[in-house]
Amino acid sequence: MTTTSTAAMLDAGSTASPLQQPQQQQKAKPAFGVLASISGAHMVNDMMQSLILAMYPILKGEFSLSFMQIGLITLTYQLTASLLQPLVGLFTDKKPLPYSLPFGMMSTLIGLVLLAFAPSFGMVLLAAAFVGVGSSIFHPESSRIARLASGGQHGLAQSVFQVGGNAGTAIGPLLAALVIVPFGQRSVAWFALAALVGIFVLTKVSRWYATHHLANAKRKAPAAVAAPYPRNVVIWAIAVLLVLIFSKYFYIAGLSSFYTFYVIEKFGLSVQSAQMHLFYFLFASAVGTVLGGPIGDRIGRKPVIWFSILGVAPFALMLPHANLFWTTALTILIGLVLSSAFSAILVYAQELMPGKVGMVSGMFFGFAFGMGGLGAAVLGVLADRTSIDFVYHAIAYLPLLGVAAILLPKKARKQAH
């Protein structure tokens, strides 16, 4: 996994130096071996998360759960991740812990095994919490490594990293349809083998990070790069980005957490068929993620952010009125367009606050997870009191908040890239 270009890129010294020497980083080439490995580990991590999502129909029947309780499962693993990720990122900005990555995956593995043998709803929530803790450790450090291995192509690197996660999220329902639905809750334990592979891969990535980055940390760090805008402008821009994250992830929470129930209730599909339709949506999301980062590198982050969120609004508004064919088509389009936003948003935020990649990554991943969990819980209560169909009508207006992208600063200084 070691490359000459990667070594040159990381020769600069301190923990923050790759972020503080953009001109050097731009001359280097991306370390694609490292990016592929961290993306593969992201796929395993998020596949295990999505197994929880894909198991909702099974868990609902097994434990006679309400939609509110279904939402609480999502809230539990999203909330544990959202609260811890900014703290993990802030700490590792000051004291990187490369070998924390395998331990994060170990927590996710424990959650998966607990989920397989959970005898009660309370144990399901505990399993979800372990999965959330694993994600809180994994995402900030992995995002940092993706940036360090980017060779200056930050949008591309984040997209490669993100597409692994989205691919894993998409595979979860497919595996649930093929394995968990026919063989039951305990068959989830077989996926612990994938977690073991993830631990092995992350151990090698951690070794690369320690060898080519932390080994040079004793050298004197250069002066930090100044923020591209005054402090008040940066705070305003971060606030706008968080509004966009809210609209994106609150909407996705409603779409993904209750999609299987929606198509079962509205179109009379079987559980397996509903899982396949969820897979189509999530696979389209993975494809969209690949496009968002590189396009942002070429044309700028703001146009991508603007198009990916506000551009979904017409499809979202049509979705509750569509038949099965157009429901499938519209959700594919929604996944394809909406998912291109996050890589662009994350890199844009990192450019606003150079030298704080761990904190920024943790804050945005954490906020995204938190909004997803809160959305699932709130919309679960709403579904219990009204109907799933009403929920889909209500959330259709959320992408209109994408208009807030017009409030972002027009152009970042060159040095922020």
**What local confidence, expressed as pLDDT, does residue 319 receive?**
94
Higher pLDDT, 416 or 203: 203
> pLDDT digits over 245-266, tens only?
899 888 988 888 788 889 999 9
- Domains present along the chain, CATH in parentheses: 4-416 (1.20.1250.20)
Residue 3 has pLDDT above 50, yes or no: no
Distances (CA, A) of 331 to 242, 243, 265, 413: 24, 22, 17, 37
> pLDDT digits over 131-173, tens only?
888 888 888 788 788 888 887 777 778 778 877 887 887 787 7
- Residue 118 gets the label, from left (phi > 0), alpha (psi -120 to 50) or beta, of beta
- Amino acid making up residue 413: R
Q: How far is 374 from 251, CA to CA, in rounded Å? A: 11
User: Across all residues in the chain, what is the average pLDDT?
Assistant: 80
Residues 158 and 343: beta-carbon distance below 8 Å: yes
Residue 20 has pLDDT above 50, yes or no: no
**What local confidence, expressed as pLDDT, does residue 355 receive?**
73
Under the banding of pLDDT at 50, 70 and 90, the label for residue 28 is: low
Q: How far is 417 from 415, CA to CA, in rounded Å? A: 5
**What local confidence, expressed as pLDDT, does residue 411 receive?**
60
> pLDDT digits over 353-386, tens only?
877 777 787 788 778 877 877 888 888 889 889 9
> pLDDT digits over 168-211, tens only?
877 877 787 788 878 878 888 888 888 899 999 999 988 888 88
